[in-house]
Chains A and B, each alone.
Chain A
Amino acid sequence: MSDFHLEPKRSDAIEKAAQSAVPVTGTEPASFVKQLKGFWVTFRTMFKKPNTIEYPEVKPEVQPRFHGRHQLNRYEDGLEKCIGCELCAWACPADAIYVEGENNSEENRMSPGERHAKVYQINYLRCIFCGLCIEACPTRALTMTNEYEIADDKREKLIWEKEDLLAPLRNGMLMPPHPMYPGSDHHNYYRGEIKEAHPSQDVNK
C-alpha cells in the first residue's frame, strides 16, 4: 500500500507541455512584422477551397459501405425477400427490431416459399446502426442504404413500419401480393433465376 497516491500523478506529457509553454510577457503591441505574418495566414486561406459543406442545401456523399437506414429488398418480380424469420431481431443488440411472421397463401403471397413478415418494425430510437441484422439476414432481404436523414420531430415517427422500409418497385416489378413466377418455386428465387415479372403474375390489374 506504500505506492498509494492521493493526488493523481501528472503524466510526462502534461509535465512537458507545462515546461514548453510560452510565458506571457509584456502587454505592448506585437511588432508590425509579427502582425503581417499573422494576417498572411488569413489572406492565404481566402484563396483555398473551403472545408465547410452547406448542409442541408448540399448533401455530402458518404462511403458506399456507410451504415444508413435499412431497406427491405424485393425479388426482380416484386415479391418480398423477407421471410419473417426474425433472425435480424435475434441478432439485434439494441432490441430495435420487431417481426411477426405469417403464412403465405395462394391469395395472399407476399414472398416466395411458405412464410413472410406480417409485421416488420425498426425502432430508430434504439438502432445503433451496427449492421448485425443485415449480416444475420439469410435471404439478403435486409440491407442498409446510404441514407442518413432519419431525424424526426416525434418519437412515434421513428418506429418505421414495413411499408416505410420496403424498397420501391423498379421497372418490371409488380406489387405483391401476387403468385410466384409461373413454373417456378422458391428455390428458383433463392438461386436468383427470376429476372422479371411475368404478365400472368399481374393479378392486381
Chain B
Amino acid sequence: MSTQEIAAETQVEMITVMIDGFEVTVPKGTLVIRAAEKLGIQIPRFCDHPLLDPVGACRQCLVEIEINGRKFPKPQASCTIPVEPGMIVNTQLTSPVADKAQQGIMELLLINHPLDCPVCDKGGECPLQNQAMSNGREESRFEGYKRTFEKPINISSQVLLDRERCILCARCTRFSEQIAGDPFITLNERGALQQVGIYEKDPFESYFSGNTVQICPVGALTGASYRFRARPFDLVSTPSACEHCASGCDMRTDVRRGKTLRRLAGDDAQVNEEWNCDKGRWAFKYVTQKDRITTPLVRGEDGELHEASWPEALHAAATGLEANRAAVLVGGRATLEDAYGYSKFARIALRTNDIDFRARLTSDEERNFLASHVVGTNVHYKDLDRADHVVLLGFEAEEESPIVFLRLYKQVRKRAMKVTAVAPFASRGNKKLNAELIATAAGNEASAIGKISGLTSKSVILIGERLSESTGAISAAVALSQSSGAKLAWIPRRAGERGALEAGAIGNLLPGGRPVTETAARVDLQAAWGVEGLPSSVGRDTEAILKDLHDGNIEALLIGGVDPLDISAHHHDGLKKAFVVSLEIRHSAITEIANVVLPVAAVVEKSGTFVNWEGRPRSFETAIEESLTRSDVRILSMLADEMGTPINLPTVTAAREEFNSLGNWEARSSFTPVSPTSVSASGNQALLSSWRLLLDAGSLQDGENNLAGTVHPSVAVISENRANSLGVKNGDLITVSTSHGSITLPCEINAIEENSVWIPRNSVDSKVIATLGVASGPVSVVKA
C-alpha cells in the first residue's frame, strides 16, 4: 500500500514541512528522506530502503534540520527522522553544511573501499560509484594502505561476499531478519574489522538470499552465477513474470546475445513488493540445456524418433489425433493464452471435454470446488495484509508460494497476526510464522479443519493444491468459510494452473468459468467461436484419462509439458499404447514414448500471461527475440488447421484478445460437499505425508549448480516415540516403503503427529510418487 492509501484508510494526520524552500505535505510518521523524494529531491543514501526498518548505519543522508526556529547542532540522518510540524530541512542542495558533511562521510566510506571497480560486478550500476560522483570529493586525500580481506568468501553456494567492499549498511542483515525471517547473516566484530559473517553452524540456506545481492548498494554481495559475466550496458532488459510458482512475481530478465544472464525481482507493491525467491531469480538455465528440442520429431516405422519438417510433423500429428479418440493434458506451466489454445483445441478439433491442467494428484471434489469457489474470484495480497487470522490448509507457504510467505511473515512480525496451520508438523516456515499447529496426519485434515474456530470475515483461509489429496478436506474448508464468513483462496503450486482454470482447460468448465453442463453457457460460447454442438458432458480428469488410456477407452493424447511421474507411477503402459503428441521444450520421459514431438518456446522466448493465485493477470513480453521457437497456442492453431477444424488463434495476442472478449460467466455451479474419510496406521506402519520443497529435483531448476548447492538436505521426519521404538537417533537411516518401492533417508526427530512420517516429495533422493507409487496413506517405516 502506498502512503496515501494508508493515510486515506486510517485517517492519519498530515504534516506540512519545508524542504529546500519548498512546502510538502505528508502523513505523520513519514521520514524526512521520503518527504524529500516526494519533491524530487534526491538525498544520497546507502542503508535506507523503503521496505526495511530505518537504521541510520551509513550516515550518508545527512541534512540540516530546524524545528520551530531551533536548529539541530549537527547535521542529522534524514533516513531516521520522521517529519514534525514546523520542520525546516535543508539538504545538500541548499545547505553548505549538509553538503560538506555528506562529502566527509563519502570520503570516510571510500577510505577502505577498494578501487577495484573494473573487476567488480556492480560497476556501472553501483550506488556507491554514482553517489561518489554526485556527492563526493573529486580527489582522494587518503594516502595509507586500504584494509584488505581474503576474497571472496562463499556465504552460500550462490552468494559470494567481498568483505573489503562492504560499507556496513546492514541492508542484507536487516533483510534476512526482517523480511525473510532467516537471521543467518549478521555483522561480526567491531570498528574497522566489522564485517558481514555467517554462523559457523547454520549455513545461509535462506530461500530469499538472492535479494541481498540485489539490494547491496556496493559489490560486496554478488551472485556466483552472474559473477564477471556482463556489464549493465551489455544487457537488454525485459519486464517479465516468474514462471516458477503461483505467487506471480514481477521480474526483470536481462539478456545478452540471445541468452538470459540474470533475472532480478521487479518492483510491484501490490504483489511481490521488491522481493523474489532464489528459484525465481536463479533457475533459468533449463532453457539452454543440451536436451532442448529444436526441430519437430516424428516416430518412424523403425520405432525411433526422426527429425522432421513442420508440415510433415503436423500432418502426422493431425492424422493420429483425427483417427483416435483423444484427450488433452495441459500441465500446470502453460500461460493463459496457451491454456486457452489447448482448451479451444480440445473442444473444437478433438470434440471432447477430456482435458485437465492438473498434472498431479487430483480429485473430483477439488474440480467441483474450483468451478464453484475459485474460477473468476479474487482474493488479494492486500487481504492478507489486513487479515486478523490466516489459516493454511494443505499449504506450506515458504516451500510452495514463497512470496505469500513473505507477506504473511511481514504481518506476523509487524502486528503478531495469528496464523493457524493444519499439517503433520511445524515446518521451518510455519515456525517462523509462529503458526498454531493443528498436528494432523495426511488424510485426516477434514476433522482437524472442523476444530478451527475464531475466524471472522477478515480472516483468510488459504488452500493448497495438496488438500485435494485428503477426501472431504476441501468440503470442510468450504463449510468453515461459510460458517465464519472468512475469505477462501486457492493457491496452486505451479504458475499456470490458475490461468488454465480460467481458460477452461479442465473437464467441467469452458473458458471464463462457463459450466460445460449448462446449455446457456455452451450456446454463448458457440456463438463467440462460431461453431455448433460443443460437447456437453463433463470430461475426464487427469487420473481418469491415464486410466482410460490404459484400458483402451482413449487411444490418443495431446500432452504439453507434463511429467507422467508427477501424476502416478501406474498406467504408464497406457501411454505407450496410445498415439501421443507432445509439445515440449526439452526431452523428457514423454518424448521417449511420443509419436510426434513438437518443439515449443520457453517462457523467455514468448509473450503471454500467467494468472497468479489472486486471479491477477501477469503479462510478460518476449525477452529473447532471436529465438525461432513458437508458443504452444500458435502450434495448436497450425495443428487445428491441418485437421480441418481451425481454432483461429495464430498469435498470442489474438488468443489474449479473444479470451478477454469472452468475459466471465457470472453464475457459479453449486458445490456438493463430500463426506470425509479417515485413515489410520498401526505397528510398523505410518501415515505418509509429503510436500515439495522449493528447491528440489524439479526440471525447471536443471543446469543451475550454484542454486542446487543450497537445497535443504532430504530427511525423513518421525516422532520421538517412533524413533525410540525403531531404536534410531537423529541422522540414522530409515527406510520408508510400500509394495511399489522404498526410499531410505536420514531421520530427523521432530514433534510430528504420532502416526506420521514425512519425506520430501520430489527431491533428488526422495521421489515419492515415482518410487512409492503413492503420496499418502499407510507405509512401512523401518530402520535401514
- A residues adjacent to B (C-beta < 8 A): 83-87, 89-90, 100-103, 113-115, 138-139
Are B119 and A113 within 8 A (Cβ)? yes
Of all chain A residues, which has the CB nearest B120? A85
Are A114 and B228 within 8 A (Cβ)? yes
- B residues adjacent to A (C-beta < 8 A): 118-119, 123-124, 151-152, 227-231, 233-234
Are A100 and B230 within 8 A (Cβ)? yes
Are A101 and B124 within 8 A (Cβ)? no
Complex contacts, A139 vs chain B, CB 8 Å: 118
Complex contacts, A114 vs chain B, CB 8 Å: 119, 151-152, 228
Closest Cβ of chain A to B157, distance in Å, is 14
Given the interface pairs A90-B124, A90-B233, the reply to whether A83 lies near B118 with Cβ below 8 Å is yes
Are B118 and A102 within 8 A (Cβ)? no
Of all chain A residues, which has the CB nearest B228? A101
Complex contacts, B124 vs chain A, CB 8 Å: 90
Closest Cβ of chain A to B161, distance in Å, is 13
CA distance A103 to B225 in the complex (A): 10
Are B229 and A85 within 8 A (Cβ)? no
Are A84 and B228 within 8 A (Cβ)? yes
Closest Cβ of chain B to A28, distance in Å, is 73
| A-B pairs, 9 with minimum CB distance | A85-B118, A101-B228, A138-B118, A86-B231, A115-B228, A115-B119, A103-B228, A83-B119, A87-B118
Are A103 and B227 within 8 A (Cβ)? yes
> Counting chain A CB atoms within 10 Å of each CB, which of B118, B123, B230, B234 scores highest?
B118
Closest Cβ of chain A to B289, distance in Å, is 20
Closest Cβ of chain B to A99, distance in Å, is 8
Complex contacts, A90 vs chain B, CB 8 Å: 124, 231, 233
CA distance A89 to B228 in the complex (A): 15
Are A102 and B233 within 8 A (Cβ)? no
Are B229 and A101 within 8 A (Cβ)? yes
Complex contacts, A84 vs chain B, CB 8 Å: 228
Are B118 and A100 within 8 A (Cβ)? no
Complex contacts, B229 vs chain A, CB 8 Å: 100-102
Of all chain B residues, which has the CB nearest A104? B228
CA distance A95 to B690 in the complex (A): 54
Complex contacts, B152 vs chain A, CB 8 Å: 114
CA distance A167 to B328 in the complex (A): 61
Name 9 extra pairs, CB < 8 A, besides A85-B119, A90-B124: A84-B228, A100-B229, A100-B230, A101-B228, A103-B227, A113-B119, A114-B152, A138-B118, A139-B118
Are A102 and B231 within 8 A (Cβ)? no
CA distance A7 to B9 in the complex (A): 73
Complex contacts, B118 vs chain A, CB 8 Å: 83, 85, 87, 138-139
CA distance A102 to B227 in the complex (A): 8
Closest Cβ of chain A to B257, distance in Å, is 9
Closest Cβ of chain B to A112, distance in Å, is 11
Of all chain A residues, which has the CB nearest B151? A114
Complex contacts, A100 vs chain B, CB 8 Å: 229-230
Of all chain A residues, which has the CB nearest B119? A115
Closest Cβ of chain A to B321, distance in Å, is 45
Closest Cβ of chain B to A125, distance in Å, is 18
CA distance A100 to B233 in the complex (A): 12
Complex contacts, B151 vs chain A, CB 8 Å: 114
Complex contacts, A83 vs chain B, CB 8 Å: 118-119
Complex contacts, A89 vs chain B, CB 8 Å: 231, 233-234
CA distance A89 to B151 in the complex (A): 26
CA distance A166 to B407 in the complex (A): 54
Of all chain A residues, which has the CB nearest B227? A103
Complex contacts, A102 vs chain B, CB 8 Å: 228-229
Of all chain A residues, which has the CB nearest B148? A187
Of all chain B residues, which has the CB nearest A90? B233
Are A86 and B234 within 8 A (Cβ)? yes
CA distance A85 to B233 in the complex (A): 12
CA distance A113 to B119 in the complex (A): 9
Complex contacts, A138 vs chain B, CB 8 Å: 118
Complex contacts, B234 vs chain A, CB 8 Å: 86, 89
Complex contacts, A103 vs chain B, CB 8 Å: 227-228
CA distance A83 to B233 in the complex (A): 17
CA distance A143 to B37 in the complex (A): 45
Complex contacts, B233 vs chain A, CB 8 Å: 89-90
Closest Cβ of chain B to A69, distance in Å, is 23
Closest Cβ of chain B to A62, distance in Å, is 30
CA distance A84 to B234 in the complex (A): 13
CA distance A100 to B151 in the complex (A): 21
